[in-house]
A and B are shown apart, each in its own frame.
Chain A
Amino acid sequence: MGDLLLILLILIITYFTGSILEKNHFKKIKAREIALVKKPVVSFGKKLTTNKKIKKVEFVTGEVVISGDYFKNFVSAFRNFFGGRMVSFESLMDRARREALLRMREKAKTADIIVNARLESTMLNICEDNSNNLIPQVAVIAYGTAVTYER
């Protein structure tokens, strides 16, 4: 009985901490994306075709590790059983990718364009016996080539 109450308590606490942290994070991401809206990032093609003179070429990266919380993990176990969209993990991946991209773009604030932006992701939290009850930690690296034109 005591164990059950403890789990319930952890679930309630992590529900609030997780959702508050996520909400705040999304708010920050949105504000930073609006601030950078005039700086283009493209992911098509591997060639840069322009007639402008180039001043500087730089390789930029951005990385982040974000974890889910206990509550999400608990709820998603049911979702996994019945099937369907796992909204709680969708938002986790979305957050991680957008944050990594933003960090990359903020490193290249003076550049005019970032070409061939790529995202690479991996799960840090893995276990040998596949027991499937570990809280996911997603690591994302975003990278691209920042080009500055001569003015």
Chain B
Amino acid sequence: MILTNIESVPGMKITGHFGMVSGSTVRAKNFVKDFGAGLKNMVGGELKSYTELLEEARKEAINRMIQQAEKVGGNAIINVRFATSAITSGAAEVYAYGTAVKVQPIEG
């Protein structure tokens, strides 16, 4: 599966569109990590456990989007975007969306 966030896949041509596909996830860390982050919050700096959380959430959202694209028969997703929102303290929602397409390499 090829992902891009531009209107095309460079070096390939689009032969079919399958409409929008999306994937979302809401994730939280356990209370121990929340407590640790709360302490770190006082001192300032990067909150590593929350960065991890965001990374996991992003991977999960992309995976769900890819699954959906495979189901409709696409082999690439173009114009991928992210939307994030904070639902409650210590939890992150990541929503990924894009257009599923079929691409093939340009000959010559």
Contacts and interface: CB of A to CB of B under 8 A. Distances in A.
Do A and B make up one complex? yes
Interface string B65-108: 00000000000000111111110111110100000000000000
B89 A145 contact: no
B10 A63 contact: no
Contacts of A122: 84-86, 92
Given A21-B44, A22-B44, A63 B51 contact: yes
Interface in B1-35: 2-11
B44 A141 contact: no
Most B Cβ at <10 Å: residue of A22, A46, A61, A123: A61
| Interface size bracket, A side | 35 or more
A69 B54 CA distance: 20
Interface residues of B, number: 39
Given A69-B44, A70-B42, A141-B58, A124 B10 contact: no
A110 interface: no
Given A53-B11, A57-B11, A135-B41, A66 B5 contact: no
B89 A125 contact: yes
Given A139-B84, A141-B94, 16 more contacts: A17-B44, A18-B45, A47-B7, A48-B10, A54-B11, A59-B4, A59-B5, A59-B80, A63-B58, A65-B47, A65-B54, A67-B45, A116-B6, A137-B37, A139-B50, A143-B82
Interface of A: 10, 13-14, 17-18, 21-22, 25, 46-48, 50, 53-55, 57-59, 61, 63-70, 72, 99, 115-116, 118, 120-127, 134-135, 137, 139, 141, 143-145, 147
9 contacts: A18-B45, A48-B8, A59-B3, A63-B55, A64-B54, A65-B51, A125-B41, A125-B86, A145-B4
